Structure 1
């Protein structure tokens, strides 16, 4: 496999499971030193060990992304363990509470925006300026198909990811002239540990797209890695749908 990320450090939030863990695997397989963040140190150690056993380089940094001090600390620790630089940032971590608007508790609203919007915002604030100084870097944000159309029960989750989609464009405009590319992927129904709780409804969502099946973490991760790579050098400020064609209908 090509080692096109050799010499680069990649920070992947929510990298202990699901899409994030697969992104970390794929980046490490292509030569990146991957810094995985998450809340669970046991799962973090397992993710790191898997990469190292395959010959890759990885470290784990525990972080609570609903706490701003922890977010800032994560950025600094990622730089420290990553050899003094972070070249790729994948804002993958997210929480996805579903339910009626009138039933959303104040604390859930605040914590969802903290993890899904504030954490990426401040990680970019901490890491992108140094990327710009070096003249290169790539940021990939993970959003969702329901950030672009309305769906009952998705108001809170969808609105946080819609905000992240606009931030993607804003950061591309802000940092693009300095060589930092900022893009997003927009997954549709994807089978992960987190979405298992959705049961049959995940498959029902997938039937609304032409492909008519649930996606895999490997398929979404491949899109993330492509956007982070030099192969996407001319792609700035866009969102790549990985949704089985749902946005086509």
Structure 2
């Protein structure tokens, strides 16, 4: 978080970011903290979680780590919601449903255990976590839910059926929850990332995902910070009139015709 400048768009806000011990979730947690929020970093890996928290605190931000294995059970989601509220002094303003898994066997090769695991982590866990946090948000005067979709929820790729269907579910839930919870003061939106990769070391071989971005307006893959910037905006008062929207942060991959080189 050393390259971030402390600002104040989320000052005095509290946030829980699931799956935030690495990659997109980590970038969102760091960006929220840089904007003044007290952030709960959550995930299964305690060592990585501690490192993220240490980095945020070293840059002047506020963060705590809570270990959680969001397997899809209502109990696991409800337990994390309760521990997060306690750690944050009783109030949770922002929830980012980021945690997810990506086994990508072909449909014919997908067994029932894998199917249930992917839907458990990617859909059931955020479903019950959202259900656990919304009542207190509404009682406190409002809150923000941000879901993570994916560009392959709307643009099919080989071997992506199982994962992309879970992200399609999250994008649909975004619209449904906006209708359900908006009148209660809880805004619900989503970010749909394109091909996102951490910055590669100088001289590294091209990543296979880079081919997916050839011919797009951006012409390259994105970095986790691109998603974090969008999440900060959706969480802030600047997006107060934004409800039920999926913000595509994908370099134009889904919205613009790709011209083969």
Normalising by the residue count of structure 2, what TM-score does the alignment of the two structures yield?
0.90
Give the match's secondary structure for 1:218.
Answer: helix
Contact kept, 8 Å, 1:209 with 1:243, in 2: the verdict is no
**TM-aligned CA deviation for residue 135 of structure 1:** 2.2
Q: Name the counterpart of 1:144.
A: 150
Give the match's secondary structure for 1:225.
Answer: helix
Q: Name the counterpart of 2:79.
A: 73
Render the CA deviation track for 1:25-52: whole Å, top value 9, x for unaligned.
1100111000011000000111111111
**TM-aligned CA deviation for residue 209 of structure 1:** 2.2
Residue number among 180, 184, 208 corresponding to 2:190 in the alignment: 184
Give the match's secondary structure for 2:218.
Answer: coil
Q: Name the counterpart of 1:21.
A: 26
Give the match's secondary structure for 1:246.
Answer: coil
Q: Per the alignment, do residues 146 and 67 of structure 1 end up closer, same or farther by CA in structure 2, a change over 3 Å counting?
A: closer
Structure with the largest fraction of helix = 1
Q: Name the counterpart of 1:196.
A: none
Render the CA deviation track for 1:167-218: whole Å, top value 9, x for unaligned.
001110011012211000000000049xxxxx73201111152211010011
Normalising by the residue count of structure 1, what TM-score does the alignment of the two structures yield?
0.95
Aligned residues: 244
Tell me the C-alpha RMSD between the 2 structures. 1.3
Q: Per the alignment, do residues 171 and 38 of structure 1 end up closer, same or farther by CA in structure 2, a change over 3 Å counting?
A: same
Q: Name the counterpart of 2:168.
A: 162
Contact kept, 8 Å, 2:77 with 2:132, in 1: the verdict is no
For the pair 1:215 / 2:200, whether they are aligned, the reply is no
Q: Name the counterpart of 2:121.
A: 115
Q: Per the alignment, do residues 8 and 169 of structure 1 end up closer, same or farther by CA in structure 2, a change over 3 Å counting?
A: same
For the pair 1:244 / 2:256, whether they are aligned, the reply is no
What stretches of structure 2 of length at least 5 have no aligned partner?
A: 1-5, 200-205
For the pair 1:58 / 2:63, whether they are aligned, the reply is yes
Q: Name the counterpart of 1:205.
A: 212
Contact kept, 8 Å, 1:210 with 1:245, in 2: the verdict is yes
C-alpha separation in 1, matches of 2:58 and 2:98: 24
C-alpha separation in 2, matches of 1:85 and 1:179: 15
Map 1:122-133; keep pairs closer than 5 Å.
122-133=128-139
